[in-house]
Structure 1
């Protein structure tokens, strides 16, 4: 499971957002607008907001699910288990389908959006980490600095985005969300979200969410129960974030930028 690689990944991630003499990236802060209940047993891998509800994909072998969640109460309204032994990862919606990746099984699942009933499977090479959509394409992360662009009808790769921060490839790109023409991406095992220009692949901003995570002694696995999960309500311009097994989901408002990195 991903947890096995956590400490090794920390060494890689630590070098990702370094500044250079010729380029720097603005760093945004945040304020919490509202805190909502979140299932503390949900190992969040994918998150999105649609028509007043949250849709979430959870990980871990034997515990992976896709679910529809009431935002205000955190109540799970619908839930379907991901077939064993697949490890659930990111999700996106295309038309009347919910599409879910799995970590290392080289396959994803398609569900009926209204019922979460499984409809089909589809193959892809490599690992699957996260999905989002701009309304025309799907974008898929696999833990590398390359985000794949997929045809949402065939689910085949039709392009790619090479992501760099200060000229260096950005490793461990995880959960994705399309926000106002940018791709917001959790960087696994950090407190930062990268704001990526999809035209150039450059990180054009960092969102520093230091201080948002629960206290380590309240988490079952403080090394791996990290920030992961971004959802955006475009109609009301609301940004939501959470983490793996966090008891809260937060609506935040960005501040700054206050500095550059």
Structure 2
């Protein structure tokens, strides 16, 4: 996905279809519940990490970073130096990642394939081709499927063993769709998605693609910290809690938060 600062389109108007009277009326974007992060703890984050993927498994935080020639995948305790790290080939631009048991899947942006890795050693096992760009990735345990974004308004479902496409949904609310979907985090039946180049996170019903809430994550960094940082991009559910870790590209901090209603 395009990582340099350019203008982005977040909401794309579409023609609303006629619904049968038995179909529930969806909320319009203006009436969606609004949430904000309540910061519980601040942790250090590598300010040189161009964060593309973030995921907690047990006590281990996995992070994938981007930029051609600088992309890595690493794992270790949150807020500490990684205990294991693997660099991508210099020509690759790393993207989102997710862990499925002993396997880690990592996307590439425009290189046209996902990398299957050993989740413990991060050693590469194989490369599986896909069409289009790769942005975000997460695993829905209940449905045993991967959920992938490509920068559009669609979420694509994939088999966690073969990476084969199994379906898709359009992310929407009322008669509008939401594009520029970036890093993803699966939490139960819902998916949290960063909207690229904004401080907005969407909470999405993965079964239907319907947006169930918006999160305004503005204000996590101070004005001086934002000067050297790039965009918000990094969501990881903290296991066994209702908390999330949030960070961004080139951010000096990670924030452990709980989402609460916005005023």
Paired residues of 2:57 and 2:239 also in contact (CA < 8 A): no
Measured against aligned partners, the alpha-carbon deviations of 1:201-244 in whole angstroms (never above 9, x if no partner) come to: 11110011111134256543x5xx11000000231332111000
Paired residues of 1:175 and 1:229 also in contact (CA < 8 A): yes
The answer for the alignment partner of 2:22 in structure 1 is none
Measured against aligned partners, the alpha-carbon deviations of 1:46-67 in whole angstroms (never above 9, x if no partner) come to: 0000110110000000000000
Paired residues of 1:99 and 1:108 also in contact (CA < 8 A): yes
Shift of 1:181: 2.0
The answer for the alignment partner of 1:112 in structure 2 is 118
What count of residue pairs does the alignment treat as equivalent?
247
Q: 1:246 aligns with which of 240, 245, 251?
A: 251
Q: 1:49 aligns with which of 27, 40, 56?
A: 56
Shift of 1:26: 1.2
TM-score by length of 1: 0.89
Q: Which runs of 5+ in 2 are unaligned?
A: 17-26
The answer for the alignment partner of 1:134 in structure 2 is 140
TM-score by length of 2: 0.89
The answer for the alignment partner of 2:19 in structure 1 is none
Partner Cα separation in structure 2 for residue 37 and residue 99 of structure 1: 25
The answer for the alignment partner of 1:209 in structure 2 is 217
User: Residues 227, 146 of structure 1: CA spacing in aligned structure 2 closer, same or farther, 3 A cutoff?
Assistant: same
Partner Cα separation in structure 2 for residue 240 and residue 32 of structure 1: 10
Partner Cα separation in structure 2 for residue 64 and residue 86 of structure 1: 7
User: Residues 249, 133 of structure 1: CA spacing in aligned structure 2 closer, same or farther, 3 A cutoff?
Assistant: same
Q: 2:83 aligns with which of 57, 74, 77?
A: 77
Q: Which runs of 5+ in 1 are unaligned?
A: none
The answer for the alignment partner of 1:8 in structure 2 is 7
SS of the equivalent of 1:36 reads strand
Shift of 1:257: 4.5
Partner Cα separation in structure 2 for residue 212 and residue 82 of structure 1: 30
The answer for the alignment partner of 2:165 in structure 1 is 157
Paired residues of 2:136 and 2:148 also in contact (CA < 8 A): yes
Partner Cα separation in structure 2 for residue 153 and residue 243 of structure 1: 29
Paired residues of 1:89 and 1:103 also in contact (CA < 8 A): yes
SS of the equivalent of 1:195 reads strand
Q: Is 2:115 the counterpart of 1:144? A: no
The answer for the alignment partner of 1:122 in structure 2 is 128
User: Residues 217, 179 of structure 1: CA spacing in aligned structure 2 closer, same or farther, 3 A cutoff?
Assistant: closer
Shift of 1:29: 1.6
Partner Cα separation in structure 2 for residue 241 and residue 247 of structure 1: 12
What does 1:192-207 correspond to in 2, within 5 Å?
Answer: 192-207=200-215
Partner Cα separation in structure 2 for residue 255 and residue 95 of structure 1: 31
Paired residues of 2:185 and 2:191 also in contact (CA < 8 A): yes
SS of the equivalent of 2:215 reads strand
